[in-house]
Amino acid sequence: MIRLENISFTYKNKIALDNVNVHIKEGESIAIIGPNGSGKSTFLKLLNAIIFSSHGKYIFDKIEINEETLKDTKCLKLFHKKVGFVFQNSDAQLFCSTVFEEIAFGLLQMGLPEEEINKRVSDCLNLLNIDKLKEEHPYNLSGGEKKRVAIASVLAMNPEVITLDEPMNGIDPKGKRFLRELLIGLNKSGKTIICATHDFEYIEGVFNRAIVFSDEHKIIRDDEYEKIIKDEEFLRKYNII
Ligand SMILES: Nc1ncnc2c1ncn2[C@@H]1O[C@H](COP(=O)(O)OP(=O)(O)OP(=O)(O)O)[C@@H](O)[C@H]1O
Ligand SMILES: [Mg+2]
Residue 199 pLDDT exceeds 90: no
Q: Could you say which ligand is closest to the alpha carbon of residue 33?
A: 1
Could you list which residues have their CB under 5 Å from ion ligand 2?
40-41, 88
Per-residue confidence at 91, pLDDT binned at 50, 70, 90? Answer: very high
Residues 6+ apart with CB under 8 A from 7: 17, 19, 20, 21, 46, 53, 55, 56, 57, 58
Q: How many domains does the chain have?
A: 1
pLDDT tens for 8-32 read 999 999 999 999 999 999 999 999 9
For residues 101-117, give the mean pLDDT: 96
pLDDT tens for 138-161 read 999 999 999 999 999 999 999 999
Per-residue confidence at 211, pLDDT binned at 50, 70, 90? Answer: very high
Query: How do beta strands 161-165 and 83-86 pair?
Result: parallel
Separation of CA 217 and ligand 1 centre (Å): 10
pLDDT at 170: 83
Residue 54 pLDDT exceeds 90: no
For residues 191-215, give the mean pLDDT: 95
pLDDT at 201: 86
Separation of CA 80 and ligand 1 centre (Å): 23
Alpha-carbon dihedral of residues 109, 114, 119, 121, nearest 10 degrees? 40
Residue 241 pLDDT exceeds 90: no
Residue 87 pLDDT exceeds 90: yes
- Mean pLDDT for the chain? 95
Tell me which of 8, 9, 10, 11 to substitute to probe ligand 1's pocket, judged by most ligand atoms within 8 Å of the beta carbon: 11
What is the residue range of 187's domain? Answer: 2-237
Residue 112 pLDDT exceeds 90: yes
Q: Could you say which ligand is closest to the alpha carbon of residue 18?
A: 1
Say if ligand 1 is within 6 A of residue 205 CB.
Answer: no
Give the ligand 1 atom nearest the CA of 196. Answer: 22
CATH number of the domain that residue 120 is part of: 3.40.50.300
Say if ligand 1 is within 6 A of residue 38 CB.
Answer: yes
pLDDT at 230: 94
